[in-house]
A and B are shown apart, each in its own frame.
Chain A
């Protein structure tokens, strides 16, 4: 649905050059939710703005729904943009217009008929759950409600693609959840392909099918969310994944523990996250297990858990335990104390 091919973008400002994107390629399939994550200044906004040509790539090609975007005439580009919705961190609503007008004005300016406008505003305000706020002004709404209006505005053009630039970054955790749930609903109900940008891993975890990690204008790693969670290769990716599994284990105790048996990271995916493999271990083998830290999170399609545990016992026994756990579908990695 969206293809970026070898996109580079250099900004020239007073005797300074910033290479915001360096040869970035990415493909978003129809109907999926694709997340791009990275720290501030990584080039995420520049990347997403290249999709609808708000930013013109210095080189490379952009395709949306098979159409090459970067060689369109201004009029054709406007037509193409009508089918690409976009939402922003700052909502970008007209302050001087009601919720109704905020959705109706852009429709009117893109030549939608009066009757159709009234229908669409009602329909999409209902989708976002704000029918009763039609006559309110943005200043009378909460951040979450403003973002809902912005989403209704985007949907009212009945786009095929929705671009989201940090749409939840200005919202509190609870509101973020509800906006993410809304994005999922839009994706399912209307089949709208979503490309979203964030610096928060739990946004990726909640809604995304695919994810790309950006750093210094490059995509350093990409894959399904499960692939990246279970086997992050790059330092930055690891940091992002680890941010979901905080562990603060007292260092002093670790060396002592290490004498009595291995410290392991157990990664559970899907099925195995639900099964009590670890508790079975101390019954079946002559070991004690002790969970040092851990967390199970719900990815979009399946649960994913990670525990740091200490297995206390003779080496022969603990080896058997690890083999047993692996057979159960748990990924077992022995931990270096320095890595904790």
Chain B
């Protein structure tokens, strides 16, 4: 089959545009929730690790093991494994709403890990200097630790977004749509390779764009 660009656009444009929006929707919602959950967990991991201010073997090890377990399960399996839990939590396991839960379960622990390593990079001398000035621990966490780690946090989130976009490709299986789903259905199942190529190009552009925005933001915040 051969189309002109106009014909292609007329025929598939609306659908691809819709799929792009669905991908953005899934990624942004699950990213927001994952950061809200992952950042505090990352902080907790840093504070409770051995030789740190709130050292707590049980909290640290429990978190550690939990994160490792969720991170060892491939997303596609997590998606099905979590079906009952998802239905219980949001009333449905289908559509964008249904896919957010597994996406968050998949991404939040990953973000917790990325936050942990970003926060560990912060020079502990600075934290000590603030402690010596009589500043509350929660202020030190937010205004010193998280602040100083911002460049690495941004880079971490960039990596997480890219992982999330990959995971949303499988979201089609629960009818959530998205670009990956379009590429799979039309390219593989209905043999419309042009549609697949176009969606792949769009995905590549999005990922390149996100990575360079992330790099630029991080560099700007780094101040050196």
A interface residues (Cβ-Cβ under 8 A, vs B): 52, 54, 77-82, 84, 86, 88, 90, 92-97, 105-106, 109-110, 137-139, 150, 157, 163
Contact = CB atoms under 8 A, between A and B. Distances in A.
Interface stretch (B57-65, B100-108, B127-135): B127-135
A93 B130 CA distance: 10
Contact of B126 (A79, A84, A92): A92
B125 A106 contact: no
A201 B217 CA distance: 46
B144 A81 contact: no
Given A96-B150, A137-B224, A139-B223, A81 B133 contact: yes
Among B134, B223, B224, chain A packs the most CB atoms within 10 A around the CB of B134
Interface residues of B, number: 23
Q: Closest 3 interchain pairs by CB?
A: A81-B134, A139-B224, A92-B129
Given A92-B123, A92-B126, A106 B133 contact: yes
B139 interface: yes
B152 to A, nearest CB: 11
Contacts of A110: 133-135
B208 to A, nearest CB: 27
Chain A interface main SS type: mixed
Nearest to B133: A106
Interface in B132-149: 132-136, 139, 143-144, 147-148
Contacts of B131: 54, 81
A96 B224 CA distance: 9
A325 B34 CA distance: 82
A159 to B, nearest CB: 9
A78 B125 contact: no
Contacts of A95: 148, 222-224
B221 A96 contact: yes
B132 A81 contact: yes
A79 B135 CA distance: 9
B151 interface: yes
B143 A109 contact: yes
Given A86-B133, A105-B143, 9 more contacts: A52-B132, A77-B134, A78-B134, A92-B125, A96-B221, A96-B223, A106-B130, A150-B129, A163-B132
10 contacts: A54-B132, A79-B134, A92-B125, A93-B126, A95-B148, A95-B222, A95-B224, A109-B143, A110-B134, A163-B132
A96 B147 contact: yes
Interface string B21-36: 0000000000000000
A80 B136 CA distance: 13
A137 to B, nearest CB: 4
Contacts of B150: 96
B119 to A, nearest CB: 14
B135 to A, nearest CB: 5
B128 A92 contact: yes
Contacts of B223: 95-96, 137-139
A109 B148 contact: no
A106 B129 CA distance: 10
